[in-house]
């Protein structure tokens, strides 16, 4: 498989709409509708408004949608949840990859069975490795090893199970690109902080430019865009500044 090719830098940006209601998301969406970024909707909005409404919302704006579902459960439940999500035709969704190989294979089966039974579009299925809010020390305490080696382990299982890509920190992107087992995975990287933004609860961060240089495909960016510092301006201004940085 060859690497994803982007026709313009805006296509690499996934804006995290971490807001309570679609009415709030709409204000941001209206102002950025012509930019061609992907809308990332997580459990905050997806749970309250419903995933179906969230997907319709993004598609009304002509945007691709990444449903950040982070499914984690026993294999059969992950399979059924993945099947249910695929029926709604998101462009991307994810499951937690810090689990068994079997569970990840069941997620792929859930997607494939929905595509076959309901003739729906095949979404891009991602596996979340170690959350970017987890520090290296916390990774040792939770998983018994440093974040770099756990990301490599979880990404290798994701590739082996047939997932399309992983969510990781851009700090780990070059190691995944250099490793033959994970080199072709689509790399989606949160924990992106332009030099002008606060890091907040994110621990394993990079700037947009570093992320691209390390081999990331998509950059998930929330607060730096939705709550930009006053000297940057509006969410639209923040996106334009990031596009300039990665162009």
167, 211, 212, 239: which one contacts ligand C5P (CB under 6 A)?
167
70 among known catalytic residues? yes
Residue 220 interacting with ligand C5P (CB under 6 A): yes
Give the residue with the Cβ less far from ligand C5P, 45 or 114: 45
Residue 148 interacting with ligand C5P (CB under 6 A): no
55, 131, 158, 187: which one contacts ligand C5P (CB under 6 A)?
131
Q: Which stretch binds ligand C5P (CB under 6 A): 54-62, 131-139, 146-154, 230-238?
A: 131-139
Q: Which of 67, 13, 64 is nearest to 217 (CA)?
A: 13
| From 4, 40, 52, 70, the catalytic residue | 70
End-to-end CA distance of the chain: 25
Binding-residue total with ligand C5P (CB under 6 A):
17
Compute and round to an integer the Cα radius of gyration of the chain: 17
132, 139, 157, 171: which one contacts ligand C5P (CB under 6 A)?
132
Q: Which of 50, 66, 83 is nearest to 13 (CA)?
A: 66
Give the residue with the Cβ less far from ligand C5P, 67 or 114: 67
Q: Which residues contact 35 (CB under 8 A, 6 or more apart)?
A: 10, 13, 236, 239, 240, 243
* 35-74 positions binding ligand C5P, by CB under 6 A: 42, 68
Alpha helices in 130-233 (DSSP H): 136-143, 147-161, 173-178, 208-214, 223-226
What secondary structure does DSSP assign to 72-98, as a single string?
Answer: -S-HHHHHHHHHHHHHT--SEEEEE-S
Site of interaction with ligand C5P (CB under 6 A): 16, 18, 42, 68, 128, 131-133, 167, 190-191, 200, 202, 220-223
| Catalytic residue set | 70
């Amino acid at each position: 498989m060859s690497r994803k090719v982007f026709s313009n830098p805006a296509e690499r940006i996934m804006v995290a709409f971490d807001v309570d209601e679609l009415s709030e998301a709409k204000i941001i969406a209206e102002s950025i509708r012509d930019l061609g970024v992907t809308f990332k909707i997580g459990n905050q909005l997806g749970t309250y408004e419903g995933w179906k409404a969230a997907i319709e919302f993004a598609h009304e704006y002509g945007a691709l949608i990444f449903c950040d579902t982070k499914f984690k459960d026993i294999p059969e439940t992950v399979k059924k949840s993945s099947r249910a999500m695929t029926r709604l035709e998101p462009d991307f969704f994810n499951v937690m990859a810090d689990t068994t190989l079997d569970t990840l294979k069941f997620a792929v089966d859930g997607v494939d069975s929905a595509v076959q039974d309901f003739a729906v579009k095949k979404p891009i299925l991602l596996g979340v490795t170690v959350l970017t809010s987890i520090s290296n020390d916390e990774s040792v305490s939770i998983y018994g090893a440093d974040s770099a080696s756990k990301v490599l382990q979880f990404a290798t299982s994701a590739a082996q199970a047939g997932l399309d890509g992983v969510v990781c920190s851009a700090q780990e992107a070059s190691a995944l690109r250099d490793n033959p087992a994970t080199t072709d995975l689509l790399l989606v990287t949160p924990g992106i902080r332009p030099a002008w933004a606060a890091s907040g609860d994110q621990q394993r961060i990079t700037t947009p430019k570093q992320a691209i240089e390390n081999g990331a495909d998509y950059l998930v960016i929330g607060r730096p865009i939705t709550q930009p510092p006053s000297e940057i301006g509006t969410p639209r201004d923040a996106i334009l500044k990031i596009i300039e940085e990665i162009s």
